[in-house]
Amino acid sequence: HLCTSLKKDSQFWYLYSCFMVKKSEVECLIRLFHSLVERDDVRLHNNVLDRNTFRATLHNLFGMTDDMLMKRVFFAFDKNDNCMNVKEWIKGLSVFLRGTFEEKLKFCFKVYYLNSDGYISREEIFDMLKNSLHQQSSEKETDGGIEELVEKMLKKMDYDNDGKISFAVFEKAVKEETLLLEVFGQCLPEAKVQCQQPKLVEKTF
Amino acid sequence: MGVALTKSAQWTTAAGFGTGTLEITPLNEGILKEIIMFVESFIYKHPQEAKYVFVEPLEWKTNLDPSAFESGYVVSATTVKSEEVDKNGQPLLFLSVPQIKIRSFGQLSCLLFIAKDTKLKEAQACIEANRNPVAKILGMDYNTMKEDPSILNILDKITKEDDPESEVKMKMAMLLEELDLHLLNYSLKHASLEIHLNPVTIKKDIELLKHFSGQGEQTVLESIEYTSDYEFSNGCRAPPWRQLHGEICYVLVKPHDVETLCITCCAEGVFLNGGKTDDEGEINYERKGAIYKDLVTFLKHKSAKFSENMSKQVSTRLTEEQQKVKDQPKKAPKKKEADALHKSITSSNKSKLENNQINFGKNQMTKRLEPSVNWKTDVDFKVISVRDTQEKKHGGRPEKSTPPVSPGRAQLVHKNADKTEEIPSESSSESEEDEEPPDHRQEANADLPSEYWQIQKLVKYLKGGNQTATVIALCSMRDFNLAQETCQLAIRDVGGLEVLINLLDTDEVKCKIGSLKILKEISYNPQIRRNIVDLGGLPVMVNILDSPHKILKCLAAETIANVAKFRRARRVVRHHGGITKLVALLDCAQNSTEPAQASLYDERDVEVARCGALALWSCSKSYANKEAIRKAGGIPLLAQLLKTSHENMLIPVVGTLQECASEESYRAAIKAERIIENLVKNLNSENEQLQEHCAMAIYQCAEDEETRDLVRLHGGLKPLASLLNKTDNKERLAAVTGAIWKCSISKENVTKFREYRAIETLVGLLTDQPEEVLVNVVGALGECCQEYENRVLVRKCGGIQPLVNLLVGINQALLVNVTKAVGACAVEPESMVIIDRLDGVRLLWSLLKNPHPDVKASAAWALCPCIQNAKDAGEMVRSFVGGLELVVNLLKSDNKEVLASVCAVITNIAKDQENLAVITDHGVVPLLSKLANTNNDKLRQHLAEAISRCCMWGRNKVAFGEHKAVAPLVRYLKSNDTNVHRATAQALYQLSEDANNCITMHENGAVKLLLDMVGSPDQDLQEAAAGCISNIRRLALATEKARYP
C-alpha cells in the first residue's frame, strides 16, 4: 500500500525519470526500505533508517566490510540529519547499483573526502588505508608501508603537487585508469553483486 | 732482529719521530711473542752468551714493582740491583722505579720470568724504548738500522777485534741475526695469511648485510649505514687524509642486542673507533679495540644475536636449497644446471654431479662454491645462494654467468625434451620462437637498477595487502615502463609473477583486472612467457575466459595471445579447453543477447571478439589447435567476423585464417564459407598488415584451382598486381608475390596479370629482393612463361639475365623455381641464345649435382628445352667435361621425378649421334632397362622415349632385349595414359627391328594391344603401333618362309 501511495507521489516519478532505475526496481527498493525500517525500532524512527541498520544492509547485501568506509557511505547517502529517508535511500542506491560512470565517480569522491573541504587530504588517505596492509611485523613497518602507498597515490594523482586531491584530479586519474575508482577502499557493491542485483534484492525481500 | 723490527713491526704513525709505540696488531703480538720465547730460552740454550754484557744497557720504563724481585737481587723500596755484576762491579740489572736498565740476556730472561703475566707489556715497552737493540747490545758498529746490515759486515768487525770477548760477541751477533731472520719469516707468513680488505669487498659485505637488515627477529642487524654518502672514485668513503692510513670507510651498525657501533673499515681489517662525537658529527678515528679481519667476523664477536641469525640465514638457505633439489630433481633438463649449483653447494651428491660438473669446469664460481670453514667464503656463497633461491622460485634457470657453451647445450637438451612431449604432427608454419631462448638473469654481482627495489616493495604490498592496497600496488606497478626488460625481469625475480598469477585465482575482479593488465604487458618478453607457463598461469587465464566480465575476457585472451607464442603454451591452452572458449568469444551475437550490464569495467562485444581472435591467431600455429578451432566451429565465426570493417578485428581474423589455410580441410571450408570474397575485399584495405595477411591467405588457398578462379572473379588480381609496386614492406611483398605465383597457375589469371602489366613489374623484382620475395617472383614468372607472349615479354624486359644469375644461389625453393623459369624461357630459341651466352646451360647442368632431388629434377627438366633449342646442341653438351657421365649416373637415383627428368634429358642428348655413342659407353642401356619395371606413368613415358632414342645406336636394340627391357615395355600399353602409349609404341617400334625382341613382344601379347592402338586418333601412336606390328608380322612371315620354303 505504501508503494501505491508513493506511486502517486511526484517524487516517485522524479526518481524514476532521473535515475534511470527501472520502475520495478524502484518498487523493489522501496519495499526493501520499509521492510528494513519495520525491522528496526519503529517508535524511535519515523520511516527513516539509522546508521547501524544501514551498515548491516551494506554488509549483508553488498559484501562491504570496512566499518569506517560504510560510515562514510552512509554520510554520502545521507544529506545531513544522521538518518536516511526513503528518498535518500533510493537516490543513493540508484547510483550505487545503476549509476553511470560519472555518477559513481562523484559518489566515490564524496565518500573519500570527509571534512567537506572538497579535497582528499594526505591524512584522510592515510586514515582510509590504515588497515589495508596485514600486520606483517611491527606496527612501525606497516605504517611505513602505508605511508609509502599514500605517497605513491599522491604522486600519481596530485598533478598540482599541493598534497591533496581535488575532484578534477581524481576524475582525471580515474578516467585514465578505471581501477582507481575505488582506490581508497571499497565503497561500491562488489562487481559480482552488482550483476546479480535485481535478483538479490527480490530474494531478500 | 733489527730489520724485522723496523720493517715488519707495525709502528704507530708517529713512529718516525721519536718514541713511537707499537700497535696492538696480531702481527706485532706475534713478533713480540717470538722475541720473548727467544729471550726466555736464551739462558738455557746459550748459558755462555747469556752472561755477555751489553755495550749499552737496554733501558725502559717498567711497570714492575721492586717487591716482585726475590732471590738474587738486592731489593729496596724503590730500587733493585742484581747480585750478578760485570767485571767492573756494576749490577747487570738496575731498577730505579720506574726506570730499568738491563745489560745481559741472562738478566732479561730472569726479568721475563719475574714479569709473568705482564711480560708481553714489558717486552713491548723494551722494544719501544730501544728502537735499535742490536746496536745497544753489540755496540754502535753493529747498528742494523744502518744501510747494508749484512752479517758479513758484523763478522768482519768481530774478527778484527782480538779481545777474548770477541768470540762470544760473534756468537751473539749470529744468534741475533738468526732471530731477525726468524722474525722476518714469521711476519712474512703472517702477512700472507692476512686478508687485506679493499673497498670492493667491504662494499659487498656492507650491501649484503644491508640486505638482511631491518626490523624483526629474523634479520641479522637492525641497521647498517655509512657515515658518509660520498664515495670517492677509488671506492673509499673516508676523508682523503684518513685514506692515507689505509682507512676505507666508517659504518654505523646497530645490532639487535648491542648499542650502535661506529666501525672503521681499513685495509688491515675492521675495528671499533672512538665513535661519532655528538656535537660536530665528527668521527673519533682512534682505534678502541682489536682488529678483525672483516666486518662479519667483527660483528660476530660483538653481537651474539648477529652471529646466531647469520648462521640461521645460512642454514635456512641451505635447507631450502636441499629441499628444492629433492623436490624437483628432474623437472626440466634446463634446471639441471641450477641444481648442479645447489648440489655443489651441499657437496653431497657428488656422483650425480658428474655430468654437470663439466659445465663448471672453467667456471670461476666453482672455486667460490667449494665448502669452506672460512666465513669470507661463506659470505660469497650466500650471495649466490640468495640469487639461486630466487631463481629456483622463478623457474630456475641457469645464470648468465654460466660458461658460454651451456646455453646452447641446454637449449638442445630442452628441444629434445620438447620434442618428446610434443605430439609429432606440428604444423610447419610454426617457426618463430620454438627455440627456448637462453634465459638470462641479472648477475649476482651486477648492480641492480633502482626499479628492482621499488618493484620488490610493491610485490610485498601485493602479498600483504587487502584489496585496496593490492589495487594501489597494481596501479603503481603499471606506472613502471613494463615494456622495458629490466622491469619485466625485476617483477619475475622478486617473485611477482607468482603473486600476479595467484591474484587471478581470487574473486576480486579489480585485482584480476590489474594483474592481467600487467601480465599482458610483460608477457611480450619470451622469458616471462615461459615463466608464466611454468607457474601454471595459463589454465587460470583459460578459466577467466568464462567470466561474465567482458574486460576480464578481453585481458585474459590478450594475455593468452602473448603467452601462446610457443608450442608448449599452445598445447596447455588446448588441453585446458581454451580453444573452445576462445572460439566462443568470437560469437559477438551470442554475447550481445546477455542483458546489458552497467558494469564499470565493460567493453564492447566487438572488443571481446577481437581479443578472442588475437588469442586464436597465436594458438593457430599448432596443427592440433587448427583442428580444435575447426571442430569448435571457428570457421563460420571467423567468416562472420571477416565481414566487419574494423581493421583491428580483421588482422587477427585473417591472420588466423591464413595460419590455418595450411590445412586442406580449412581450404575447403574457406572456399565453402565464401571467405575468398572478403579476403579479396580487404586486399584493398589501407592497412599493410591486413593486406599482407589477406595475400598470405590467398597464397595458401590458391593451390586450389577453383579458389584461383574465385580470386579472379572477385576482382582480386588487380589489387594484387598494384600491390606489387609497393616494395617497401618486404613481408607484404613476399605475401603478395606468393599470391600472384599461385594464382598464375591458372592461364586466365596470367592473361589478367599481363593485362595489369604485372609481368614487367615481376621482372623488375628479380634483383635486390630478399629470398622469400625472390622465390615467389621467380615462381610466378615460371608459371607466366609457359605462354609464348609472356616469354617474349620477359626477354624484352631483360628478365633472362637476372634469372640466370639466380642459378648460382643455394636456396632450395628458389633454385627449383629459377630452374623452372629458365627452362620455360629456354623454349624460345631467341631467349635460348641469351641463356647460352650467359652460360646458363652449364649452370643448370651443375645443378644436377645439387643434393636436393627437387633441384636436380627441376634442373634436368629445364635442360631439356635448352638442348632442344640450342644451336649446335651436341657440341655444347660435349663441352661439359664429365657432364654425360653425370647424367647417366643420375639414372641410379631412387627419386621418380629425378629419374623421369633425367630420362627426358637423355632423350634430348641422344638426338646427337656422337653423344649417344658416349652415353652408350657409359652404360645407359642397362641402367634404363633396370628402370623398366615401374608403375609411374610419368617415368614410363620418358623412359620409353629415352629407350626409343637410344635404340638408334649400334646394337643397343639388341642390348635392351638382353637386359629384359622389352617385356615390361609391352605392359606399358595397358596404362591409361596416351602419352605413355605413344612413347611406348615408338620404343617398341624401334626395338621390333630385332627379331628376338619381336618374339618377346609377341609372347607378351603385344600384338593385340598394338592393334588397339592402331585405332587411336593420335597419329604418331597409330604410326608407331602399325610399324611395330608390321615388323612383328614381317618376322613371322620370314620364319614361315624359312620353315616352309
**pLDDT confidence band for A135 (50 / 70 / 90):** low
Interface probe for A, chosen from B475, B515, B544, B551 (most Cβ of A below 10 Å), is: B475
| CA B586/CA B605 separation, integer angstroms | 9
Q: Which helix (H) or strand (E) holds B1029?
A: helix B1019-1043
| CA B588/CA B610 separation, integer angstroms | 10
Same domain, A7 and A90: yes
| pLDDT in the model for residue B859 | 93
B877 contacts B909 by C-beta, under 8 angstroms = yes
Which residues are paired to B284 by β-bridges?
B275
Backbone angles phi and psi of A110, in degrees to 5 = -60, -40
Same domain, A10 and A91: yes
Q: Is A98 in Cβ contact with B599 (below 8 Å)?
A: no
Residue of B227, B299, B288, B298 whose CA lies nearest to B257: B299
Residue B479 has its nearest CB partner, among A136, A140, A156, at A156
| pLDDT in the model for residue B516 | 93
Residue of A16, A52, A12 whose CA lies nearest to A36: A52
| pLDDT in the model for residue B193 | 52
| CA B584/CA B755 separation, integer angstroms | 45
| CA B655/CA B659 separation, integer angstroms | 6
Q: How many residues does chain B have?
A: 1045
Q: Is B471 in Cβ contact with A179 (below 8 Å)?
A: yes
B678 contacts B640 by C-beta, under 8 angstroms = no
Cell 620354303 belongs to B1045
Q: How many residues does chain A have?
A: 205
Q: Which residues contact A187 (CB under 8 A, 6 or more apart)?
A: A64, A69, A72, A73, A76, A107, A108, A111, A112
Same domain, A19 and A92: yes
DSSP collapsed to 3 states, B448-485: CCHHHHHHHHHHHHHHHECHHHHHHHHHHHHCCCCCCH
Contacts of A141 in chain B (CB under 8 A): 214-216
| pLDDT in the model for residue B331 | 42
Residue of B585, B575, B519, B522 whose CA lies nearest to B549: B585
B112 contacts B40 by C-beta, under 8 angstroms = yes
What does B874-916 look like in DSSP terms, one character per residue?
A: HHHHHHSTTHHHHHHHGGG---HHHHHHHHHHHHHHTTSHHHH
Same domain, A40 and A57: yes
Contacts of A176 in chain B (CB under 8 A): none
| CA A196/CA B571 separation, integer angstroms | 35
- Lookup: cell for B1011: 592393334
Q: Is B468 in Cβ contact with A129 (below 8 Å)?
A: yes
| pLDDT in the model for residue B28 | 78
Residue of B738, B793, B725 whose CA lies nearest to B771: B738
Burial track B179-215 (b if 16+ CB lie within 10 A, e otherwise): bbebbbebbeebeeebeebebebbbebbebbeebbbb
The CATH number linked to A48 is 1.10.238.10
| pLDDT in the model for residue B344 | 44
Radius of gyration of chain B (CA): 48
A154 contacts A128 by C-beta, under 8 angstroms = no
3-class secondary structure, B578: helix
- Lookup: cell for B961: 632385349
| pLDDT in the model for residue B2 | 53
Residue A183 has its nearest CB partner, among B214, B471, B509, at B471
Question: Within 10 A of B881 (CB to CB), how many other CB atoms are there?
Answer: 8
Residue of A111, A12, A32, A37 whose CA lies nearest to A69: A111
Q: Is B216 in Cβ contact with A137 (below 8 Å)?
A: yes
Same domain, A93 and A40: yes
| CA B360/CA B670 separation, integer angstroms | 55
- Please state the separation of Cα B808 from the chain's center in Å: 34
DSSP collapsed to 3 states, B655-671: HHHHHHCCCHHHHHHHH
Contacts of A182 in chain B (CB under 8 A): 468, 471, 510
Contacts of B474 in chain A (CB under 8 A): 179
Q: Is B601 in Cβ contact with A185 (below 8 Å)?
A: no
Same domain, A12 and A87: yes
What does B333-393 look like in DSSP terms, one character per residue?
A: TTHHHHHHHHHHHHT--HHHHHHHHHHHTT-HHHHHHS--S-HHHHHHHHHHHHHHHHHHH
Same domain, A122 and A174: yes
Burial track B831-849 (b if 16+ CB lie within 10 A, e otherwise): bbebbbebebbebbbebbe
Question: Which domains are delineated in chain B?
Answer: 1-142 (no CATH), 199-313 (3.30.2280), 467-535 (no CATH), 539-589+601-673 (1.25.10.10), 872-1043 (1.25.10.10)
Same domain, A11 and A79: yes
3-state helix, strand, coil in chain B (%, to 5): 65, 5, 30
Query: Mean pLDDT of successive 10-residue segments in chain B (1045 residues)?
Result: 55 45 70 83 79 84 81 81 81 83 84 81 82 77 51 53 68 81 74 64 82 77 82 79 80 83 83 74 77 81 79 60 48 44 43 40 38 38 42 41 37 36 38 48 59 86 84 88 88 90 87 92 91 92 88 91 92 92 79 43 74 92 90 88 82 89 86 85 87 90 88 90 88 92 91 89 88 91 89 89 89 91 89 88 90 92 90 86 89 92 92 90 90 90 92 88 89 88 90 87 87 86 89 85 76
How many structural domains compose chain A? 2
- Lookup: cell for B387: 640469487
Residue of B887, B476, B794 whose CA lies nearest to A153: B476
Q: Amino acid letter at B664?
A: E
B754 contacts B789 by C-beta, under 8 angstroms = yes
| CA B339/CA B594 separation, integer angstroms | 52
pLDDT tens-place string over residues A4-16: 555 555 555 555 5
What are the residues of chain A with a beta carbon less than 8 Å away from any beta carbon of chain B?
Answer: 98-101, 104, 128-129, 131-134, 136-138, 140-141, 145-146, 148-149, 152-153, 156, 177-186, 188, 190-192, 194-195
Burial status of residue B490 (CB atoms within 10 A of its CB: 0-12, 13-18, 19 or more): buried
Q: Which residues contact B21 (CB under 8 A, 6 or more apart)?
A: B11, B12, B14, B15, B128
| pLDDT in the model for residue A3 | 53
> Quick one: DSSP state of residue B217?
S
| CA B132/CA B4 separation, integer angstroms | 11
B268 contacts B291 by C-beta, under 8 angstroms = yes
Q: Is B513 in Cβ contact with A179 (below 8 Å)?
A: yes
pLDDT tens-place string over residues A154-180: 887 776 677 778 888 888 888 888 888
Same domain, A69 and A145: no
Q: Considering chain A, what percentage of its residues have pLDDT values greater than 70?
A: 67
| CA B494/CA B323 separation, integer angstroms | 20
Same domain, A18 and A89: yes
| pLDDT in the model for residue B266 | 83
- Lookup: cell for B924: 645407359
B803 contacts B778 by C-beta, under 8 angstroms = yes
Tell me how far CA of residue B130 lies from CA of B80, B106, B149, B441, B638, in angstroms: 21, 18, 18, 61, 101
Q: Amino acid letter at B199?
A: P
- Lookup: cell for B644: 566487419
Cell 685514506 belongs to B243
| CA B346/CA B834 separation, integer angstroms | 75
Q: Report angle CA A27, A30, A36 to the nearest 5 degrees.
A: 140
Same domain, A79 and A17: yes
Residue of B781, B860, B794 whose CA lies nearest to B830: B794
Same domain, A10 and A94: yes
Q: Which residue range(s) make up the domain with A163?
A: 103-182
Interface probe for B, chosen from A179, A195, A197 (most Cβ of B below 10 Å), is: A179
Residue of B250, B252, B257 whose CA lies nearest to B231: B250
| CA B245/CA B286 separation, integer angstroms | 12
Contacts of A129 in chain B (CB under 8 A): 468-469, 472
| CA B105/CA B100 separation, integer angstroms | 14
| pLDDT in the model for residue B557 | 93
| CA B803/CA B509 separation, integer angstroms | 62
- Mind telling me how many Å the CA of B469 is from chain A's nearest CA? 5
